[in-house]
A and B are shown apart, each in its own frame.
Chain A
Amino acid sequence: MAKQKKPKRKPGVCIPWEEKKKELPEISGDEELIKKVWEDIDGLGYVYIWQCLLSF
């Protein structure tokens, strides 16, 4: 798999945190917490579409 070209949108990701962060005002709190929760829930969107394709 090492030879594979890097995908535009990474596996497990629908909207990358870096893209979402640009929409937000300066984060005064714990950015890592916000990033983690964003990515965890964003991953559910990824599960949805790929499971639609593969399982249903």
Chain B
Amino acid sequence: MEQLYAERLKRYVTAMRNEKPDMIPIRPFVAEFTAKYAGYTCQEVAHDFEKAFVAARKCAADFDWDAVVGNMVYVWTGLTQAIGLKYYGVPGIDIPPDTGFQYIEPPPEKAFMKPDEYDQLIEDPTGFLFNVWLPRVSPDVAAIGEPASYRNNLSFLKGGMAMLSYFNAFGKQNELLRTESGTVSAISGILKAPFDIIADKLRGYLGLVTDVMERPDKVLAACEALMPHLLHVALSGADPDKKVPIGLWMHRGCVPFFSQEHFDKFYWPTLKPIIEEIWAHGHQVLFYAEGDWNAHLNAFAELPEKSIVYHVDKADIFEVHKTIGHKFCISGGIPNWLLSNGTPDEVRDYCKKVIDGVAGDGGYIMDASAIVQDDAKIENIKAMTEFTREYGVY
């Protein structure tokens, strides 16, 4: 098993360095699909991470995949409930047990950060998160000045212990993936762009749309204030062996959610230096470009060669390959709608088209376009896997 693991790690890392391995590595980011395959509900894998781990390992053992994430249903709703976080739709509580967990963005007037609070965030991001943001996202947490409560104290105690328990369990999960099926843990560490995190969890998308017009200097200063913290978190979770990348989850900083001008002014100048610094430390970053970021390929091409792996969701993968394929490894590009609604033959045809178009010189990793949920047909995931193994040998 250890030899298989070594072969897969070499294959995966070689492709990520934009070189040609022995065959195309397969690294599907499978989330609720694992539940479907292993016979669990969405509620079970969201709320009981041990079941999610079992499901991920079952898929890894049964499919010939080189690398996976130990639990792509990453948000353990037992933990979010312990903290009291109110922005998730939890399967079996807020939504049906057969629906994947949902993020619920509040309306602009109930955003977790108010428009006149930028200076507080800029002055002390960590203090702002503890003192202002957390009490807003968790009704259990008392705001500064409010009396402490039983529920407040328990939120920190249970939340802290649950988070530690969850993170520690990943070490064991990754070891089991290695020893049971020779599967590589695909990523290590987390990064989000400063601009994206303001939209995601602080001002909300609509709030930020207003802010870039009405208080652009504050938005830029807030992005800059977040930069050193996001860098620190990314590096503290990075692979000490510097083999697998840090995951960058790209959300709504692109055209058409924002204009090219806003991307150039806010998003890129406050993300690019983080990527360059991470690369200076010897780590790659996986740009998980959810949606279509092709309007910004020329910006990404400014980054040092091999510093990123670029994952393609809804964008034209052939344009991606043409524009940045000479510098960076590409992954993904097999549409989720096809995996959900197509036939195995159609999946094979699409995989052939992608492999022929972008994988000829190596530097390509097979994956679906977006995280695979329980709508994907098992026979289509098998077809994607088996065809890549048959056709993707160099």
The chain A residues found within 8 Å of chain B, CB to CB, are: 1, 3-5, 7-14, 44, 46-56
- 10 pairs, CB–CB < 8 Å, chain A vs chain B: A1-B228, A4-B273, A7-B225, A9-B124, A11-B231, A11-B232, A14-B126, A49-B130, A52-B137, A54-B190
**Residue B233, interface by CB 8 Å:** yes
Question: Of B129, B225, B231, which one neighbours A49 at CB under 8 angstroms?
Answer: B129
Given contacts A5-B224, A9-B126, A49-B126, whether A44 and B164 have CB atoms under 8 Å apart is yes
Given contacts A48-B160, A53-B201, whether A7 and B80 have CB atoms under 8 Å apart is no
A1 pairs with B133, CB closer than 8 A: no
Known interface pairs A47-B233, A55-B75; 4 further A-B residue pairs with C-beta atoms within 8 A, sorted by A's residue number? A49-B130, A50-B126, A54-B190, A56-B75
Q: Which B residues touch A53, using CB under 8 A?
A: 129, 133, 197, 201
A4 pairs with B224, CB closer than 8 A: yes
Q: Which A residues touch B224, using CB under 8 A?
A: 4-5
Given contacts A1-B227, A1-B273, A53-B201, whether A8 and B134 have CB atoms under 8 Å apart is no
Interface majority SS (helix, strand, loop, mixed), chain B: helix
Once bound together, how far apart are the Cα atoms of A10 and B55, in whole Å? Answer: 39
How many residue pairs between the two chains, A and B, have CB atoms under 8 Å in the bound complex? 83
Once bound together, how far apart are the Cα atoms of A4 and B231, in whole Å? Answer: 12
B140 to chain A, nearest CB (A): 13
B257 to chain A, nearest CB (A): 19
**Residue B229, interface by CB 8 Å:** yes
Q: Which B residues touch A9, using CB under 8 A?
A: 124-127
